[in-house]
Structure 1
Amino acid sequence: MEYLSFELPIKELMDQYQTCSLVGEESGVDVKLACSQIEDKILEKKKEIYGNLTPWQRVQMSRHPDRPYTLDYIHGMADKGSFLELHGDRNFADDPAMIGGLITLDGQKVMILGTQKGRTTKERQYRRFGMPNPEGYRKALRLMKLAEKFNIPVVTLVDTPGAYPGLEAEERGQGEAIARNIFEMVQLKTPIFTYIIGEGASGGALGIGVGNKVYMLENTWYTVIAPESCSSILWRNWDHKEDAANALNLTPADALREKFIDGIIEEPLGGAHYDQETTYLNLKNSILQNIKAFSKFTGQELETQRQDKFIAMGQFKG
């Protein structure tokens, strides 16, 4: 388990607990009471730290190296052996930064897609740190169109620092690909449910983020630009990333207050990586509840609801 800088007090207590347990095993001395007291302190400290996270600490949590990624959620939620990955945009290439395919959740067929990061250095390079190329967005759109054809609900999982900014991506029409996805997703006549499971930055997130319902996990962020990038633009360096995070209103609570999202998915104390199975179950239950709630909508009603939802964002009321 890796610990972030603000989690070090928890690590110290965890080390004390391990030492206490080891002493008890090796010496035969009854240390249950002492270990129990340390456990209570650990729980207290967790509640204190995770109950008062700053916006920048939420950003750090969303990037935790042990945090589950899209493929982890897919395999953690799907009925055993049901994931059928689909590849390619039928135009240029497949994009490993964008994962998609068919799964079943308790027998319910779903088209699921999302941005995928890597664990190792080699995999991070292969996945481009979760930053899709234009062919990734075009693949995502192809799969959503396929789902619409067969009236299959679409679930999108967002965890990206943004669309890939390379020269080749721009030459192949990065901006057009994202804009086309937004344009087409608004009009799809099948339900779309979007979940921010980590980072949600800029158009890279919005390219698969136009849903009938949009949710954020508790320790995620969603805004127009990463705090470091905002800091480098305004202050010419990254030293003010915490100030930028505060100013961007990027937390789930901020997004819910501004009605950019419809709800917040609770994470286990300490983050999704502390208890991944519970996190998968929470997300799966939300998906199935939404599918049931929207199953009575016609295609036209789904389209209208989605359009009204996004048109209403940012409206000024005097």
Structure 2
Amino acid sequence: MDNNYSLDFEQPLRGLIEQMEQLHQLSAENNIDLSKEIKAIEQKISDTKKSIYSNLTPWQRVQLARHPQRPYAYDYIERIFTGFQELHGDRAFRDDRAIIGGTAFLNGESVMVIAQHKGRTTREKLKHNFGSPYPEGYRKALRLMKMADRFDLPIITFVDTQGAYPGVASEERHVSEAIAVNLREMSQMGCPIISTVIGEGGSGGALGIAVANKIMILENAYYSVISPEGCAAILWKDRAKAPQAAQALKFGAAEIHELGIVDKVVAEPVGGAHADPDEAAANLKKEIEAQLEELKKLTPEERIEQRYQRFRNMGVTENDLADGKIVPINEAAS
């Protein structure tokens, strides 16, 4: 856990860590053997961690997904891939830094990496528009994906956005159309596509780079049609009710995995990905490798069909709900 920042539900843990630090300092300054007391505190810290992080509420997981020290796209790219060569621009308007992308090597194999990046410092956040892409960001992503498809390079995407930028400039340049085109074009690509929600996965802004054969999500990330605050503002006219909205949306990793929205929940270190970015990246790399090996066994036509079926089977209609049995849409239509 970052000693300079803690969430409200982490305060008991922060207090224990401060006690342990005081014991270490007291032992060093006075040359006193306090190993027994330190060991007891360490055990209590371990037990408290397990208690806190094994019983998180949906809103607490949202807070972890937004933790300022949580690894962002560049952090995972530098730990998982080698030789990342970033490419820029949509060849129509400008380079949107909210979406980054380029070629890289995964265990020596060429891949195309595309990700939403928020930025950590104030300067970086402004540069990357807090991870909220403009339409040119999605058009840049599509340009890179088409390049990958042309050369049959696997596409690896990392999703981390509250949503596409909703400002006037974004609407003037047709952000909805840009996302829609990405959905259509990604659905028809024959190369393997793997997408992972590493933090926030908000609405069409996330889906614009996530029409994939395999979709994964980190344990403390979320994937939703709307942010908790946006949902609360619509339902209760009060953004302060975001915790209730998070509970109602059921957008946590475990819930959407049970619903079949994602294929895999990737484990995070105890305390969240920011507690040990190296371990978090190692876990994610292992899962990407496993999913990619599975997809490489399929032909381009089979990948397209598999991707079509996974999205076609999401959700049900009222006519599908008979005797409590949920029937996939495509089966009901036939």
User: TM-score, normalised to structure 1's length?
Assistant: 0.98
Q: Secondary structure at the match of 1:240?
A: helix
CA distance in 1, matches of 2:13, 2:109: 40
Amino acid corresponding to residue 105 of structure 1 in structure 2: L
1:19 aligns with 2:22: yes
1:66 aligns with 2:69: yes
Q: 2:31 matched to which residue of 1?
A: 28
Matches within 5 A, 1:1-318: 1=2, 2-79=5-82, 82-315=83-316, 316-318=320-322
CA deviations 1:209-237 (Å, max 9, x no partner) are 11101011000011100000111111112
CA distance in 2, matches of 1:195, 1:78: 15
CA distance in 1, matches of 2:171, 2:66: 26
Deviation at 1:55, TM superposition (A): 0.4
Q: Secondary structure at the match of 1:273?
A: helix
Q: Secondary structure at the match of 1:157?
A: strand
Structure 2 runs not aligned, ≥5 long: 323-334
CA deviations 1:90-138 (Å, max 9, x no partner) are 1111110001011112112111111000111122112111000000001
CA deviations 1:249-307 (Å, max 9, x no partner) are 11001101111000100000000011111111111111111111111211111000000
Amino acid corresponding to residue 255 of structure 1 in structure 2: I
CA deviations 1:54-112 (Å, max 9, x no partner) are 00001000000000000111011112xx0100111111111100010111121121111
CA distance in 2, matches of 1:118, 1:44: 33
Deviation at 1:15, TM superposition (A): 0.3
Amino acid corresponding to residue 199 of structure 2 in structure 1: G
CA distance in 2, matches of 1:91, 1:288: 34
Amino acid corresponding to residue 94 of structure 2 in structure 1: A
Structure 1 runs not aligned, ≥5 long: none
CA distance in 1, matches of 2:152, 2:75: 25
CA distance in 1, matches of 2:124, 2:238: 28
CA distance in 2, matches of 1:138, 1:62: 26
Deviation at 1:317, TM superposition (A): 4.7
Amino acid corresponding to residue 145 of structure 2 in structure 1: M
Q: Secondary structure at the match of 1:176?
A: helix
Deviation at 1:40, TM superposition (A): 0.5
Q: Secondary structure at the match of 2:194?
A: strand
Q: Secondary structure at the match of 1:239?
A: helix
Amino acid corresponding to residue 108 of structure 1 in structure 2: E
CA distance in 2, matches of 1:224, 1:54: 19
CA distance in 2, matches of 1:13, 1:224: 38
Amino acid corresponding to residue 72 of structure 2 in structure 1: Y
